[in-house]
Chain A
Amino acid sequence: MSSVRVLVGTKKGAFVLTSDGMREQWDVSGPHFAGWEIYHLKGSPAEPNRLFASQSSGWFGQQIQRSDDGGKTWEAVGNEFAYDGIAGTHQWYDGTQHPWEFARVWHLEPSLTDPDTVYAGVEDAALFRSRDGGRTWSELSGLRKHTTGPSWQPGAGGLCLHTIVLDPVHEDRMFAAISAAGAFRSDDAGETWRAINRGLRSEGIPDPDAEVGHCVHRIAMHPARPDVLFMQKHWDVMRTDDAGDSWHEISGNLPSDFGFPIGIHAHEPDTVYVVPIKSDSHHFPPDGRLRVYRSRSGGNEWEALTDGLPQSDCYVNVLRDAMAIDSLDACGIYFGTTGGQVYGSADAGDTWRPIVRDLPAVLSVEVQTLP
Chain B
Amino acid sequence: MIRVVLPAHLRTLAGVEGEVTLDVGDPVTMRAVLDALEATYPTLRGTVRDHGTLRRRPFVRFFACEQDLSHDEPDTPLPEDVVSGREPFIVVGAMAGG
Contact = CB atoms under 8 A, between A and B. Distances in A.
Interface of A: 35-36, 57-63, 76, 79-82
A59 B94 contact: yes
Contacts of B79: none
| Dominant secondary structure at the A interface | loop
Nearest to A63: B13
A79 B46 contact: yes
B81 interface: no
B43 A59 contact: no
Contacts of A59: 7, 9, 57, 59-60, 93-94, 96
Interface in B14-65: 43, 45-48, 50-52, 57, 59-60
B9 A35 contact: yes
Nearest to B42: A76
Given A35-B9, A36-B9, A76-B13, A60 B47 contact: yes
B62 to A, nearest CB: 13
A61 B9 contact: no
B2 interface: no
A342 to B, nearest CB: 25
Contacts of B47: 60-61, 63
A31 to B, nearest CB: 12
A60 B45 contact: no
Given A80-B51, A82-B51, A82-B52, A57 B43 contact: no
B90 interface: no
17 contacts: A57-B9, A58-B97, A59-B7, A59-B9, A59-B94, A60-B7, A60-B9, A60-B47, A61-B46, A61-B47, A62-B46, A63-B13, A63-B47, A79-B45, A80-B46, A80-B51, A82-B52
B47 to A, nearest CB: 4
B57 A80 contact: no
B10 interface: yes
A36 B10 CA distance: 11
Contacts of B45: 79-80
Nearest to A80: B51
B43 to A, nearest CB: 4
B52 A63 contact: no
A57 to B, nearest CB: 7
Given A36-B9, A76-B13, A76-B43, A60 B48 contact: yes
A76 B51 CA distance: 16
Contacts of B57: 59-61
Contacts of A63: 13, 43, 47
Nearest to B47: A60
A316 B59 CA distance: 30
Among A35, A36, A61, A80, the most chain B Cβ lie within 10 Å of the Cβ of A61
Contacts of A35: 9
A60 B60 contact: yes
Interface string B52-92: 10000101100000000000000000000000000000000
Contacts of B50: 61
A216 B9 CA distance: 34
A197 B57 CA distance: 37
Contacts of A36: 9
